[in-house]
Structure 1
Amino acid sequence: MPTLKALFDPRPRVSAPVYRRDVLRAALAAAVLICLAVWLGGQGWRSAAIGAVAPIVPAALVVLSRTAGRLRDRDRTPWLLAVYGILYVVSLAPIEDLADTYPVETLASALAILAFFVWFFVETWLRAGTPGPNRFGPPPVETPVASM
């Protein structure tokens, strides 16, 4: 089990199984917190609901940190996270007016963004890390998971 400091450290390389485990744990924790916040908000406890979702921010920082480490394991620059973030924000823009005026360009842009997201997913979730040391350091040390 990584220490709290290790979870927030983006420098070491992170293997695919460790990355998937940590991201899925963070996503599960966020889902539970959102459900709790919705239930508390439904009971009329608005402050408690806001407090229940506050830990999602550290969970998101863990995901960003682990993703940077995962990109390092693939011998990719962590600056790809900035590209991902910019494209994510751009993908949220309302494009209805643009689609009417520039349909081909809008479709091409949407497909290019989708292609980057698919590539990013394959790169971080599905592909193995570079074997041996790379420009970001030695390979990650696999820690055995205790059986239950």
Structure 2
Amino acid sequence: MTERLRATLALYDPRGRLAAPAYRHLLIRTLLLGFGLLCLGIWLASLGLRWAGVLAVAGILPVIGATAIQTVRRLHDRNRSGGWFGLYVLAETVGVLPLERAVDAHPLPVIALVLAMLGFFLWFFVETVFRAGSPGANRYGPVPAEA
């Protein structure tokens, strides 16, 4: 197996830890790749090549999968399980519910839910992007290389 293929497949391996600087670089690269694929899909669809556009946009799915797996590795560096990512996905799912229908009848619970979701999103972002990993080896492996 070539080194490039090995590095690509490593993006889909949730074992081990990922340092914060490496995670930040990964986020920037995957965001640029995702937006690039989205723009390519829109451009191809505007030229009448709808299936090519759909395929380009479908290429975003493996990027999202790799980013999710690397987020779990980043949580491992903070000595947290991947279950925290599951909670994040649940909070994101709740965020797309049509809450505006319930706000007139139950404003306080909706406001409390939105504030709780916002607090969790902020905590998760700071936890994964900015905070340093746990010092020394933890249950997920040794200290990762910085970048």
Q: TM-score, normalised by structure 2?
A: 0.93
Corresponding residue for residue 95 of structure 1: 99
* Partner Cα separation in structure 1 for residue 101 and residue 67 of structure 2: 34
Cα distance in 2, alignment partners of residues 11 and 49 from structure 1: 34
Q: Which amino acid aligns with 2:63?
A: A
User: For 1:120, what is the secondary structure of its paired residue?
Assistant: helix
Structure 1 equivalent of residue 19 of structure 2: 15
Tell me the residue number matched to 1:51: 55
Inter-partner Cα distance in structure 1 for 2:143 and 2:115: 34
2-structure distance, mates of 1:142, 1:124? 14
Is 2:137 aligned against 1:137? no
Report the residue type matching 1:15 in the other structure.
Answer: A
Unmatched 5+ stretches in structure 1: 144-148
State the identity %: 42
Aligned with 1:42 (options 42, 46, 59): 46
Aligned residue in 1 for 2:121: 117
Secondary structure of 1:64's counterpart equals helix
Partner-residue secondary structure (3-state), 1:85: helix
Q: Is the 8 A contact 2:21 2:146 kept in 1?
A: no
Task: Give 3-state SS (helix, strand or coil) of 2:45's partner.
Answer: helix
User: For the aligned residues, what is the CA RMSD?
Assistant: 1.3
Q: Distance in 2 between matches of 1:90 and 1:80?
A: 15
- TM-score, reference length from structure 1: 0.92
- Letter of the aligned partner of 2:12 in structure 1? F
Number of residue pairs aligned between Structure 1 and Structure 2: 143
CA-to-aligned-CA distance 1:66-123 (integer Å, 9 cap, x gap): 1000000001111111111111111100112211011111100100010000000000
Which amino acid is the alignment partner of residue 83 of structure 2? W
- Runs (4 or more) in structure 1 with deviation over 2 Å come to none
What's the offset of the Cα at 1:141?
2.4
Report the equivalent of 1:107. Answer: 111
